[in-house]
Amino acid sequence: MANPKEKKGSGVISTPHDDGSAGRNDSRPLFHKGSGRFAYDGLDRLIHEKARLGIVSSLATHPGGLVFNDLKELCALTDGNLSRHLQILSDGGLVQIWKGYKDNRPQTLVQLSDAGRRKFLDYVAVLENVVTDALDAAKQPKPAKVAPGWTPG
């Protein structure tokens, strides 16, 4: 992928808006080598699944971590679903799982790892591109009627 800091010849563009503002962020690459402009390769499948996105988002907002039952409630998951998704995230190096006791009862504490925090922030940056592209598209005038010769289908 091209360095987002590069301007000339890097595939990075800026599309001005009618009001003269820069429009798109100049640092967003126009395309990724080997993929289409709207492929959004940075949407990590490990995080992108709905339940795991909820887990990682919850942990990102709680740097000290969350105990299993609090995380389960925040993400509206069953014990089994949360356990399975945590195992996947742990295998991917995104979370750390700690076992301990509180009042003689077993507890599980889950924290976002440093690598997990970096991957989540990268993922959010790509999501911001998706949202910006969608908002830019929504502002475009409605296209003219379809050219003759095309039929719905």
2-12: pLDDT as tens digits: 444 333 333 33
Rounded to whole angstroms, the Cα distance separating 122 from 135 reads 20
73-109: pLDDT as tens digits: 999 999 999 999 999 999 999 999 999 999 999 999 9
* 90 occurs within a structural domain: yes
Q: Render 15-41 in DSSP notation, one character per residue.
A: ---TTS---S-TTSBS--TTS-TT--T
* 72 occurs within a structural domain: yes
State the pLDDT at residue 35. Answer: 58
* 136 occurs within a structural domain: no
Q: What CATH number has the domain bearing residue 121?
A: 1.10.10.10
CB atoms within 10 A of CB 28: 17
The dihedral formed by the CA atoms of 59, 61, 65 and 70, expressed in degrees to the nearest 10? -80
* 92 occurs within a structural domain: yes
Domain assignment of residue 122, given as a range: 45-131
* 10 occurs within a structural domain: no
* 51 occurs within a structural domain: yes
Number of domains observed in the structure of the chain: 1
* 37 occurs within a structural domain: no
pLDDT at 117 over 60: yes
| pTM for the whole structure | 0.69
State the pLDDT at residue 62. Answer: 98
